[in-house]
Amino acid sequence: MQLSMIVKAAGLSAFLLTITGLSSAAVTTPEDGTTEVSFSSYRSHDHTFSQNRNVSAWQNISGSTRAMVQTSEIQLGDDNTKQYGAIRKFAAGFYFSSLKSSTSIWLDQYESARASGGFRIDSRYYADRKTSIVCAITKMPVIDLDTLGFQGKPLLTTDSYTVKAERVLTADKDFAIGLTRGLYSDDNKNTAYSLQYGQTVYDRGRDRLRIGAYGYKVNWDTVSQWYGNPLSSKSYGVTTAYGVRDGKGRWTTTFTGAWGADNDNPIEFWPSLQLQYRYQASAKDSVMIGFASGLRTDKASELEGLRHNYRQINAAYQANW
């Protein structure tokens, strides 16, 4: 795990914290089911890249139960070493809910240089109208060119166990705290801690402003020879997201200011900007496109100023019936 991967993980956490409430308002709640086709492309400053193609669907069985399927492909590459590979996934699952809880269970089949199985269980318990507890268990491959079994290298997997508490503080403020324990098939282990805070500054129907803050820290037992994780890393940041309606569409602009470091390296700064547009073509289908780009400092290399960090594009089509 290189520093850029930590930026990606922490940035995604902050991005979801602020964007979810903004974009979901533009999506019509389906009556029976949904199909979504999506694509994302990420390229880092170190000439590594990933592309993700995904098709997912779910169908209501009853008012509290639905069946789900998903197929996806992740392509990975490193232009410096000329290493390239791909991993494909097919998944089937069920979701069921009650007045006090909801649970989704997925069975996953992965295909890379070798086949492997996995699963995802995510359960949410609503303690009251303002507090929920989330427990998640996941088994999956370690997504890295050196850990998917290519060119005689090992196929490594990880089991992760997450507990998260979410609390609605007021009508416009929310808070979450989480703990994740990861167990790797090469006998490495990690423990991650996360904090998130979100606040809606105003919501006037046509436009909405939301701010957020987060903190993330992870400690590892050892440094793996395969995925190059640090012994420890930390990151924290602030986000500002502004969404505005434009006829049948909605623009969302998010700025993230993030700071973080691996081990004893100096604190680096990673600002980023995300733009997203969702168009509600009809009551039953919508289209989303997005673009993100980030900068970085590089004090560890004794370089001054801001430099290119990454860029990412996203697109999705959703149809409801």
What is the per-residue pLDDT for 7? 37
What is the per-residue pLDDT for 10? 40
> b/e for 169-179, b at 16 or more Cβ within 10 A?
eeeeebebebe
Residue 238: closest CA among 21, 38, 80, 14: 14
Place of tokens 């290119």: 308
Q: Under a CB-based contact definition with an 8 Å cutoff, are residues 217 and 234 in contact?
A: yes
Distance CA 256, CA 272 (A): 5
Three-state secondary-structure class, residue 102: strand
Q: Can you give the pLDDT of all 321 residues of the chain as single tens digits?
A: 343 344 344 444 333 333 333 333 333 444 689 999 999 999 999 999 999 999 999 999 998 999 999 999 999 999 999 999 999 999 999 999 999 999 999 999 999 988 999 999 999 999 999 999 999 999 999 999 999 988 888 999 999 999 999 999 999 999 999 999 999 999 999 999 999 999 999 999 899 999 999 999 999 999 999 998 999 999 999 999 999 998 899 999 999 999 999 987 889 999 999 999 999 999 899 999 999 999 999 887 878 889 999 999 999 999 998
Beta bridge partners of 146: none
What is the per-residue pLDDT for 304? 81
pTM over 0.85: yes
What is the per-residue pLDDT for 150? 85
Distance CA 65, CA 248 (A): 31
The two three-digit tokens of residue 267, written as one number = 């604190």
Residue 224: closest CA among 198, 190, 252: 190
Task: Return the H-helix or E-strand segment holding 138.
Answer: strand 131-141
Distance CA 314, CA 42 (A): 9
Q: Let me know if 32 is exposed, middle or buried by CB neighbors in 10 A (0-12, 13-18, 19+).
A: exposed
Q: CA 130, 135, 141, 145 torsion: positive or negative?
A: positive
